Amino acid sequence: MSASNATIQEMGVRARQAARTLRSLPTARKVAALTALAAGLRASADAVLAANAQDVQAALAAGLPDPMVARLRLTPAALDSLAADVEAVSRLPDPVGEQSPVQVQSSGIRVGTRRVPLGVLGVIYESRPNVTVDVAALALMSGNAVILRGGKETVHSNAALEEVIHAALQAQGLPAQAVQVIRDPARERVLELLTLDEWVDAIIPRGGAGLHRFCVENATVPVIVGGIGVVHIYLDASFTRDPLDRERAAQLLHNAKVQKPSACNALDTLLVDRAALVALPQLVQPLLNSGVALRADPEALAVLIAAGLSAEPATEADYGTEFLALTLSLKAVAGLDEALDFIAAHGNHTDVILTRDPAQAEHFVQDVDSAAVMVNASPRFNDGAQLGLGAEVAISTQKLHARGPMGLRELTTTKWVVEGNGEVRV
C-alpha cells in the first residue's frame, strides 16, 4: 500500500518505525538530508508550482477569503526562500545528544540527562503549504518523525511537496515515512490522528482558535496549544515626553499592526496611560494612513475626534479579540496597575511596555504572565527566527512542555542515563 492511501493507523506505525532510525542519526546525516531537500525544492519548482496553481484556482472558485488565498499561493521566489530556510535549519546547532553534567551519588552511580527527540509529531495546520516544508525540516533536524495534515485547500501542493521530501530522504538512505502527509481531506482523518496515542507523542495545531479548541476537546494525544492570543502594548507617559520617543512609538506601533496584520504576533489592543493621551493623535496617524480601523473607548475616542481623526466607539467585544486584520482597539488606563489588570484578564501571547522608567519596565516584566514580554520593542519579534531559534514549528501559549516559539530544542525532551559498576540499592 502506498503512502498516499495508507490508513492513519498504518501511517502511525510507519512513523514510529522511522522515528527509531532518526533518534540516533548523526548530525551529518540529518544535514545531508536537509541539503538534499533544499536542492530538491529548487529542482522540482515547476512541478510544485503547477500543483499549487491547482489549489489556488480551486480556492478562488470556492470564494475563499483573499488573505487565505494569499497564504496559499506559492511563487518561484517563495519556493526559493523555502529552500533557503531549510538550509538555515541545517546550520542550526543539533540539540539531540546534549549531555548534562554527570553527578556521582553516594551509592557510586553516575547520573545525568541526555536530550532526545520527542518521537512522532502530528501537526495540523491550515492554508500555508510552506508549513509542510518548515515543519518537515525542523522535525528531521531534531530527530523526530512527523505526520502532517494540511487544510483541504492545500491538497495538491502538499502532495507535491511530500514527493520532494521523500525523494530527498530516500536519496540519503533514510525512511520516507519519516515525513508523511495525510492527503485525504476528510475531517474524520483529523479525528483519527488526534486519537493515535499509541503511535503519536504530541499534536501541534497551527491555525485559528477553532482548530485549537477542536484538538484540545477531541485528542487523546497531548496537544501543544499556541499561535492564538491577544497582543497588547501599554504606552507609559514617560515614552511620550521626548519628540524622538514619540516618533519611535509611532514607528513601533505601525510595525506592530501593519507589517503583517494576519500574524499571531500583530498588535490587537493599545493601552494608553491617560497622561499620554495628548500624544495619541500623532502616534495613530500613520496607522490611519495605512488603512487601520480604530475602535476606542470614550476617553481615547474624544481625543481622536477632537484632533479630527477617524475612529469608532469600542465595544466590550473589541477587547480580548485577536483581530488578524487592520483593526486596532484602544483603551485609556489610569496607569501601569490598571494596564496590568487588563492584560491579566485578556493576555497570554505577547505583551509590550513602552516606557523610560526602569522600575515600571521591571514591574511589567515580573507581573505579566505571557509567552513573551517585551520592553520597548515590537511584538513582531516574538518569532523563532527573530529570537535566535532559526525557525519555529509554532508559538506555544501554554506552559507544558514548551512556551513561546518552538524551535529544535523545544521538539526534544530528556531521558536519565545512569552508569554504575555493579552497585545495588540498599
Domains in the chain (CATH in brackets) are 3-224+406-419 (3.40.605.10), 230-381 (3.40.309.10)
Q: Which of 226-235, 280-289, 369-378 has the lowest mean pLDDT?
A: 226-235
Mind listing the pLDDT tens digit for each residue in 249-266? Answer: 999 999 999 999 988 999
Residue 94 has pLDDT above 60, yes or no: yes
Residue 297 φ/ψ region, left for φ over 0, alpha for ψ in the -120 to 50 degree band, beta for the rest? beta
Measured in whole angstroms, the distance separating CA 118 from the mean position of its chain's CA atoms is 18
Identify the three-state secondary structure at position 181: strand
Provide the pLDDT confidence category of residue 2 given band limits of 50, 70 and 90.
very low
- Provide the pLDDT for residue 60: 96
Q: Which residues make beta-bridge pairs with 103? A: 111
Residue 302 has pLDDT above 80, yes or no: yes
Strands 395-396 and 404-405: antiparallel
Provide the pLDDT confidence category of residue 4 given band limits of 50, 70 and 90.
low
Q: Is-contact 137 85, C-beta < 8 A?
A: yes
- Provide the pLDDT for residue 252: 98
Q: CA dihedral defined by 382, 385, 391, 397, rounded to 10 degrees? A: -10
Provide the pLDDT confidence category of residue 234 given band limits of 50, 70 and 90.
very high
- Provide the pLDDT for residue 3: 52
Provide the pLDDT confidence category of residue 420 given band limits of 50, 70 and 90.
very high
Average pLDDT, the chain: 95
Q: Count Cα atoms within 13 angstroms, Cβ side, for 5.
A: 2
Q: Region 15-22: what's the mean pLDDT?
A: 98
Q: Is-contact 203 220, C-beta < 8 A?
A: no
Q: CA dihedral defined by 189, 193, 198, 203, rounded to 10 degrees? A: 180
Cα gap 392→403, rounded to integer Å: 12
Q: Is-contact 31 163, C-beta < 8 A?
A: no
Gap between the terminal Cα atoms of the chain: 54
Which set of grid coordinates corresponds to residue 28?
551529518
Measured in whole angstroms, the distance separating CA 143 from the mean position of its chain's CA atoms is 19
Give me the percent of the chain exceeding a pLDDT of 70.
99
